[in-house]
Structure 1
Amino acid sequence: MSEDKLLPLRQKIDAIDAQLLDLLNQRALLAQEVGHVKAETNAPVFRPERESQVLRKAAERNPGPLLGADIQTIFREVMSACRALEKRVTVAYLGPTGTFTEQAVYRQFGHAVEGLPCASIDEVFRDAEAGTADFGVVPIENSSEGVINRTLDLLLQTTLCISGEIAIPIHHSLMTRQGDMQGVTRICAHSQALAQCNAWLNQNYPAIERHAVASNAEAARMAAADGSIAAIAGEIAVQKYQLQIVSANIQDDPHNRTRFAVIGRLHTGPSGRDQTSIVLSVPNKAGAVYDLLAPLARHGVSMTRFESRPARMGSWEYYFYVDLEGHEQDLKVAAALTELKDKAAFFKLLGSYPLAL
């Protein structure tokens, strides 16, 4: 009896699927035409400001019952597949496969990209600078452990700019080859992950040695090869390395999130919801920092982040990493930046880019 009711519903779904397939290929043909036009002017294949606008508009127009975030996931993959018809973008990231950084790559670019796993953040920068990869994705800040210092240092030195950001929730799991902690003598993870799970580990496995490795995925790879090692990693590593979860969601902060930066040579245009990142240093005199930031207040530009790093010159000088609301081409931001350049002892524009969705 239920089959009699299901059959007409399934027939309607099949009909809609056929329409969707036709519309998707119509979109793909238009994307190919866009690619031909871009090729005439050597315009970039990936335009994060345009894709950000499309994703925001899709969520705003969505009447339901699908959630806005799910609609954005679908549209992101459609755009990724269409973009790949023009050129398959190569993206370097902190590897090996199974890291949260790889997850961030797919969150930004969709799955129709060529991922290039790297052994270190330095290598991600090198591959993007050398042109081995079109873009790189690197962690820049964690909500509970703060900034990734190595990323900040390399942003200061590189000729690349930031063309996008991704923010994803970080859920850590403890995993082993055998699915329990019997015989485990070491718990391995990236130093940030160990710190983010410190209280949980102190309560549950205080006597087991903790060992920091290059990435959580590397810890998962080690655990897959050695039953005496437990790894802390994301659930994506379970499938990739055939591990079993001992305990899930062991991070101390249930709202733990990491922010990632997309680096490359692309200078991103305004999307309507943007952020600008800069690095500054000030003359060594009283009130210099206050005087430096005064143009922001004068032009009504909001500062969303202010981070200091030692200049490593042995004279107690600092670089200040600042995030501002708006795009460098916005009138008030442009006016404030002009004044900041004049006042700062050092000024570097890291990039203007769409805010993470």
Structure 2
Amino acid sequence: MSAKQPPAADAQEAELRVLRDQIDSVDRQIHQLLNDRARLAQQVASVKEHYRQGDETPVFYRPEREAQVLRAVMARNEGPLADVTVARLFREVMSVCLALEESMQVVFLGPEGTFTQQAAQKHFGQSACCHALDSLEQVFTAVERGEAHYAVVPIESENAGLIRHTLDLFRRFNLFICGEVELSPEVSSKAVNRSPRYLVVGREAIGPSGDDKTSLLLVCEDEPGALHDLLAPFHRRQISLTRLETRSSGEHDWNMLFYIDFEGHNTDAQVSELLAELDALKVEVKHLGSYPKAVL
């Protein structure tokens, strides 16, 4: 014959039963809302297919829209879950819903299990189809040929700084930066000088999200005052640089290559004027892209 539970245990079990019933009710509501959101995503895909122009492929993934949604999630969050935690949950929801519209094919420099793969999955979610390739050149080629929708490539390592091979490929391929991904130091290493940074590369230019960066490659003759002349248009407009790297272009000893990240989108009036002024200088300018700042 089992011993009778003490009154306190009975009271606890009764309270827990009520809370569990409430959790089950909330779970059913979440489940219903998730399916509602998925059906809306399918309707979005149908609308885009209906209004497609000829052989033009509809654009299902909009990095600027995703960034806006994630920022809104974090802004309205009231806890107790942390802002970043809630945003990561919503990213997975968006990843699952996007997969209903189109299977997102993403390539990265292999092998599998690298930090680049972690960056790809962090940005696109677990429902994206991520494939490892053997070289960065193959990664860029796959996107340019339409064999993959996007690529995730390393641009800044934790110890070595800017990755030059990636810059060289940006000069050769006509692709755009569509987003950026940062891995936190604890993910990549216990002894880190800076957070590893990755870029999302695609075939289409990205519209403004409201909090953006622009990246440029500039090539000019290595002569006194060259850097001052390049930076003067930024200074006059008080445009903040977030990254500036200089190196030999690798083609001629007298040419220098500058990689510049700065705040703003190319549709902003100030940035548009800046790009026009740079084009007027004796310098080769390649606009790599304007894209949302990393949200997570």
TM-score, length-scaled by structure 1: 0.75
TM-superposition CA deviations, 1:139-162 (whole Å, max 9, x none): 100243201111111111111111
Indicate which of 12, 16, 24 corresponds to 1:14.
24
Per the alignment, residue 320 of structure 1 pairs with: 258
Query: Is 1:91 the equivalent of 2:106?
Result: yes
Q: CA deviation at 1:71?
A: 0.4
> Pairwise mapping of residues 200-349 of structure 1 onto structure 2 (< 5 A)?
251-253=190-192, 256-349=194-287
Query: Is 1:5 the equivalent of 2:20?
Result: no
Amino acid at match of 1:55: L
TM-superposition CA deviations, 1:83-135 (whole Å, max 9, x none): 11110110001122211111111111111111111122222112112211111
CA RMSD between the two structures: 1.6
Per the alignment, residue 46 of structure 1 pairs with: 61
Amino acid at match of 2:136: I
For residues 130 and 62 of structure 2, what CA distance do their matches in structure 1 show?
18
Q: CA deviation at 1:344?
A: 3.8
> Pairwise mapping of residues 24-39 of structure 1 onto structure 2 (< 5 A)?
24-39=34-49
Check whether the contact 1:303–1:324 (CA below 8 A) recurs between aligned residues. Answer: yes
Per the alignment, residue 62 of structure 1 pairs with: 77
For residues 206 and 158 of structure 2, what CA distance do their matches in structure 1 show?
26
Amino acid at match of 2:246: S
Amino acid at match of 2:46: H
Q: CA deviation at 1:55?
A: 0.3
For residues 81 and 186 of structure 2, what CA distance do their matches in structure 1 show?
24
Check whether the contact 2:156–2:196 (CA below 8 A) recurs between aligned residues. Answer: yes
Per the alignment, residue 33 of structure 2 pairs with: 23
For residues 51 and 9 of structure 1, what CA distance do their matches in structure 2 show?
34
For residues 77 and 266 of structure 1, what CA distance do their matches in structure 2 show?
23
For residues 284 and 6 of structure 1, what CA distance do their matches in structure 2 show?
73
Identity of aligned residues (%): 43
For residues 285 and 146 of structure 1, what CA distance do their matches in structure 2 show?
25
For residues 304 and 256 of structure 1, what CA distance do their matches in structure 2 show?
14
Q: CA deviation at 1:6?
A: 1.6
Check whether the contact 1:282–1:292 (CA below 8 A) recurs between aligned residues. Answer: no
Check whether the contact 2:123–2:181 (CA below 8 A) recurs between aligned residues. Answer: yes
Query: Is 1:77 the equivalent of 2:92?
Result: yes
Per the alignment, residue 3 of structure 2 pairs with: none
Which segments of 5 or more consecutive residues in structure 2 lack a partner in the other structure?
1-8
Per the alignment, residue 110 of structure 1 pairs with: 125
Q: CA deviation at 1:52?
A: 0.2
Indicate which of 173, 177, 185 corresponds to 1:158.
173
For residues 58 and 232 of structure 2, what CA distance do their matches in structure 1 show?
37
Count residues in correspondence: 280
Per the alignment, residue 202 of structure 1 pairs with: none
Which segments of 5 or more consecutive residues in structure 1 lack a partner in the other structure?
173-233, 235-248
Check whether the contact 2:219–2:284 (CA below 8 A) recurs between aligned residues. Answer: yes
Q: CA deviation at 1:291?
A: 1.5
Query: Is 1:127 the equivalent of 2:150?
Result: no
